[in-house]
């Protein structure tokens, strides 16, 4: 088995009476080859038992010279020199580890070429974190950055020492073990694929920035190359929704658990608001509501109503919704039963959150909400096929209820905001605000 160690090669000496400090590589046949570290030392200043310059309590710091790869001479303290020697050893071991994992039949010439010419050992996580900062956070693309952060967090759970890993450590076999880890933990191919595409992007950026060599790329380009393959995305399953009878059960059956009861009302609020998404409902404040005068379609009389206005975060489409009976019931319930933070009308945001932390904060709250929602569905006795639901189920349920009630595709499309802002304006001209309120006001007590 190959091994690497740092020694003082006493068979050679320079004009100062110093011996070269070298890496000694022994192969499986116990043949040896030596590789310069650029350092020289006397026997007095070098500890042959540790392969390091002497250092520790009672030993004064001293300087040593090193001839760098480009030929320049730099001065190191003994501690800095020892750190450099450790780094060189680690780089050498990374190369040997890569040979073993990829089944490469190597020799001393191959190792010498890789050790001398390959880029320096770069820590994967440190580079990835800096790339997130440069590529996304500076551009305020927080949601995109969160996707990459989620992939890295998954890697951390797989490998507690990720912070110490270099790009060389993230080999094809490492990726394959990670894929198996994810599958063992019940992750779908879609989830695994999303995460690995982020890791692949980091490798592509590192190659682009000439931080690593293309030879370190661990992902497969073709079937027979033996490298890690990113799982194919599974075909989308039919989107989950609750039929009207299940929505009525959810609407009319309260829970004794206060957390599940709050979860139930938040889900109902989203449903009555045409399937408003999690972030948009979380950000609703008193400023999103205003009074307006409209004409009743049946009596032709004017009446005053409350309107809710917001801009959808996903499409930036503008929504102006008349507050219907179901929405008002939920708003009243939250006001009477929950401690609301600031001017927020829903109990989702409970502390002051900086803009760059908001998406992650809402994501964590949403995860807890979705877990509670599944528990609620089970407690209410909904069919097992309807228990794996999330906040987005409210949107699908709303759309399917309208369809089953015979509403036109145009009404449903406008209600869900599937069109651009210009298209939404077109539909608003075709269907008055009052008619939209009437068409989308669903009474779950029927």
The pLDDT-based confidence of 441 (bands split at 50, 70, 90) is: low
The reported pLDDT for the residue numbered 432 is 39
Cα–Cα dist 263/438, whole Å = 26
Strands (E), 300-353: 302-311, 318-322
Q: CA 207 → CA 70, 192, 231, distances in Å?
A: 22, 23, 23
Over range 304-327, report the average pLDDT.
86
**Among candidate residues 159, 164, 200, 153, the one with its CA nearest the CA of residue 181:** 159
Q: How many CB atoms lie within 10 A of CB 274?
A: 23
The pLDDT-based confidence of 433 (bands split at 50, 70, 90) is: very low
Judge whether 6 and 89 are in contact, CB under 8 Å.
yes
Q: What is the mean pLDDT of the chain?
A: 83
Over range 54-62, report the average pLDDT.
91
SS3 138: helix
List, for residues 290-310, the tens digit of each pLDDT value: 999 988 777 788 889 999 999
Q: CATH for 244-439, among 3.40.50.10480, 3.40.50.970, 1.10.443.10, 3.30.750.24?
A: 1.10.443.10
Judge whether 348 and 282 are in contact, CB under 8 Å.
yes
Query: Under 8 Å CB-to-CB from 238, ≥6 apart: which residues?
Result: none
Judge whether 344 and 223 are in contact, CB under 8 Å.
no
Judge whether 323 and 332 are in contact, CB under 8 Å.
no
The more confident residue out of 115 and 23 is 23
**Among candidate residues 423, 405, 404, 400, the one with its CA nearest the CA of residue 271:** 400
Domain 124-225 belongs to what topology? DNA polymerase; domain 1 (1.10.150)
List, for residues 61-104, the tens digit of each pLDDT value: 999 999 876 677 888 899 999 988 998 898 888 888 888 877 78
Domain residue spans of the chain: 3-117, 124-225, 244-439
Over range 145-155, report the average pLDDT.
83
């Amino acid at each position: 088995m190959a091994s690497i160690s740092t020694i003082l090669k006493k068979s050679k000496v320079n004009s100062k009476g110093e011996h070269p400090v070298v890496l000694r590589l022994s192969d499986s046949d116990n043949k040896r080859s030596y590789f310069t570290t650029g350092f020289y030392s006397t026997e007095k200043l070098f500890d042959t038992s540790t392969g390091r310059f002497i250092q520790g309590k009672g030993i004064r710091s001293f300087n040593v010279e090193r001839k760098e790869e480009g030929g320049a001479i730099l001065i190191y303290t003994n501690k800095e020199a020892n750190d450099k020697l450790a780094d060189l050893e680690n780089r050498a071991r990374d190369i040997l580890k890569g040979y073993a994992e990829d089944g490469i039949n190597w020799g001393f010439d191959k190792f010498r070429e890789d050790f001398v010419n390959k880029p320096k050992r770069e820590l994967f996580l440190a580079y990835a974190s800096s790339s997130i900062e440069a590529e996304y956070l500076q551009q305020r693309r927080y949601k995109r950055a969160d996707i990459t952060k989620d992939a890295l967090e998954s890697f951390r759970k797989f490998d507690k020492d990720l912070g110490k890993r270099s790009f060389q450590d993230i080999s094809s076999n490492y990726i394959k073990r990670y894929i198996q880890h994810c599958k063992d933990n019940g992750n779908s191919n879609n989830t695994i694929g999303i995460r690995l595409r982020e890791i692949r992007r980091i490798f592509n950026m590192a190659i682009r920035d000439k931080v690593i060599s293309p030879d370190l790329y661990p992902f497969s380009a073709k079937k027979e190359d033996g490298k890690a393959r990113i799982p194919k995305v599974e075909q989308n399953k039919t989107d989950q929704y609750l039929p009207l009878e299940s929505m009525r059960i959810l609407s009319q059956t309260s829970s004794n658990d206060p957390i599940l009861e709050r979860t139930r009302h938040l889900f109902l609020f989203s449903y009555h608001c045409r399937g408003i998404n999690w972030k948009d409902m979380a950000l609703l404040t008193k400023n999103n509501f205003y009074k307006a005068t409209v004409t009743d379609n049946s009596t032709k009389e004017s009446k005053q109503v409350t309107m809710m206005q917001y801009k959808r975060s996903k499409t930036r489409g503008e929504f102006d919704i008349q507050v219907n009976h179901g929405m008002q019931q939920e708003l009243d319930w939250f006001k009477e039963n929950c401690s609301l933070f600031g001017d927020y009308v829903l109990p989702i945001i409970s502390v002051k959150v900086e803009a760059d932390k908001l998406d992650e904060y809402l994501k964590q709250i949403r995860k807890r909400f979705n877990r509670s929602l599944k528990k609620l569905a089970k407690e209410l006795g909904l069919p097992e096929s309807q228990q794996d639901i999330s906040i987005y189920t409210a949107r699908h349920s709303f759309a399917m209820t309208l369809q089953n009630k015979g509403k036109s595709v145009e009404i449903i499309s406008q209600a869900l905001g599937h069109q651009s802002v210009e298209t939404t304006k077109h539909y608003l001209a075709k269907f008055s605000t009052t008619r939209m309120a009437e068409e989308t006001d669903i009474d779950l007590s029927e």
